[in-house]
Amino acid sequence: MAITAEGHAPTIALDGARKVRGNLTQARIRWMILALVLGFGLVGARLVQLGLVETDSTIEGQARDLITATRPPILDRNGLEMAVDIRVPSLFAEPRRIIDVEEAVRKLRTVLPDLSETWLRNRLTGEQGFVWVQRELSPTIEDRVMRLGIPGIDFITESKRFYPGMSEASHILGSTNIDNQGIAGIERHMDGENVALLQDLGLARGNALTPVELSVDMRVQHVMHEQLLDAMTRYSAIAAAGVMVDVMTGEVIALASVPDFDPNVPASALVKDSFNRITAGIFEPGSIFKTVTMAGALDSGAVKISDQFDARFGIRFGRFTIDDFHGKHRILDLPEVYKYSSNIGTIRVMQAMGKDNFRAFLTRMGFDSRVPFELPEMRLPTVPKDLSEVGAATASFGHGLSVSPLHMVTAYAAFVNGGNYIAPTLYKRDLAEAQALYRPVIRPETSAEIRYLMRLNALEGSGSQMNKEAQGYRVGGKTGTAEKVVDGRYSSSKVTNFFGSAFPLDNPRYAMIIMVDEPKAENEQSGTTAGWNAGTVTGRIVQRVAPMLGIAPDFAEVLDENLVPSVIR
């Protein structure tokens, strides 16, 4: 209301102006309060929204624990490292945090020019919380990328498997994939055992995992690998392979197959013919299988070490006649049948045993099934379930059936260790553990007779080339030259050669199978049969590794004389 007083002018206009200013101020205050409330409300709502978003704990579908999990070190029997984990930086991006994708693409390609611009742009665009950009980089690259200062780009430290021996034990170790998971060899077997479980549980961290100790001796492994590579060159062969086991414990001391691969570069395993011939290859073993026939026949009691067999003429089966390669064509006693590798004599030995008993013995020796062994790369042998007369005849000298070299070395170990089958293993195993697993397959007396035959063949038979290389170590063994089947027919020019051996035969400790595939003559004075290549490779290996294994040379002839059975002395 306007106020007036006598003698004064009315103040109505002044009062109205103040009121207007007061109302305007109050309105402004209300608008400010409203703006503040709305501002805080929006911030609060965003905070609530962010709080409700579930944190992404995976990396492109995999748990972070699995990506960063470690694997246990793998050691040889002497504590030498065969496989270890190393820590490497891997580059990742959070696309939803990247402000300028084009700038990020341009900067990253200055350090990583091999990355496709289109691929990288697509990778960095979107609302994803995590994408890999490039894994397993060097610390130098990590430093250069970090200096770029790109928001939404960072590194995570991963475990990468490293094999310091490179390809030397590749078929034993296998390899891992980029996520450090075993994909072949003992690495894959370990995942099946417990490593994968520990990683799933988040227990595979740092150095928490106990090292895995293998039975392999890397000193012996190095020698075997080197000699096999030498054999491929020396004999112009397409492949070579070898395996050595402790005959008392079944521990594999060395196992190699060339061509091989570098487990640090898993893709190199895809190279043609680089498969593991010791476990994943099956072959007609040729005459090294005659040791099996002799062991079965002698153990059955159907033949004696002093028996004689008519090898004057070939044996006819219908239209076909089986003869000897270098036949003596006379009566042979059993040691001569073995020493001269007589097909005729071996068939006579098998026939004395009986083909059904012979077939049953093959089952007893495990030739019908997979060898119990850790490596997943394994093929089943092909041995006819029923043997005809001619089938049994050819099988007695190693034709018409196919087995792996691992089958053969396991059989040879049993033949010389007193007659006990023991499954081979890549893990350390002491004698007491092994003896609990023994399965008797032949009598100790038969084992002694087989040791004599093997040593006799080294001294006087097809193993003499081997024996020249390993004088003093009492090695014995049997050659096997198996013709390959080419276009449905056996080829005399393409052969797979084997030498099955054991040493020292006065106190057997190790058995070995060496294979040389399609060898050529080393020179004009040498041949292509097994004694010239697989045999001499065996001798060279023994000559170098025996001292490492604690076996001293001994040239005393009485050691060999003691191997001769009393009945034929």
Q: How far is CA 274 from CA 208, 261, 324, 399, in A?
A: 34, 7, 35, 25
d(CA 259, CA 171): 10
Residue 401 has φ and ψ, to the nearest 5°, of: -145, 155
| Residues in the chain, pLDDT under 50 | 1-5, 50, 53-55
| Radius of gyration, CA atoms only, the chain | 38
Task: Using alpha carbons only, give the angle 143, 149, 151 rounded to the nearest 5 degrees.
Answer: 125
Q: Mutual orientation of helices 355-364 and 389-396 as an angle, nearest 10°?
A: 50
The 10s digit of each residue's pLDDT in 265-276 is 888 888 888 999
* Predicted TM-score of the model (pTM): 0.84
Task: Report yes or no: 93 and 112 within 8 Å, Cβ to Cβ.
Answer: no
Residue 187 is predicted with a pLDDT of 94
Residue 53 is predicted with a pLDDT of 46
Residue 208 is predicted with a pLDDT of 63
Task: Report yes or no: 449 and 443 within 8 Å, Cβ to Cβ.
Answer: no
Task: Report yes or no: 196 and 181 within 8 Å, Cβ to Cβ.
Answer: yes
d(CA 74, CA 198): 16
Helix (H) or strand (E) holding 123: helix 117-124
* 399 Cβ neighbours under 8 A, 6+ residues apart: 284, 286, 482
Task: Report yes or no: 110 and 159 within 8 Å, Cβ to Cβ.
Answer: no
Residue 143 is predicted with a pLDDT of 93
Q: Which two tokens stand for residue 395?
A: 């099988």
Residue 493 is predicted with a pLDDT of 82
Three-state DSSP class for residue 425: strand
Nearest CA-CA partner of 347 in 382, 381, 323: 323
d(CA 206, CA 327): 65
Task: Report yes or no: 432 and 312 within 8 Å, Cβ to Cβ.
Answer: no
SS3 content of the chain, % helix, strand, coil (to 5): 40, 20, 40
Residue 286 is predicted with a pLDDT of 95
Task: Report yes or no: 270 and 538 within 8 Å, Cβ to Cβ.
Answer: no
Whether omega before 95 lies within 30 degrees of 0, making that bond cis, reads no
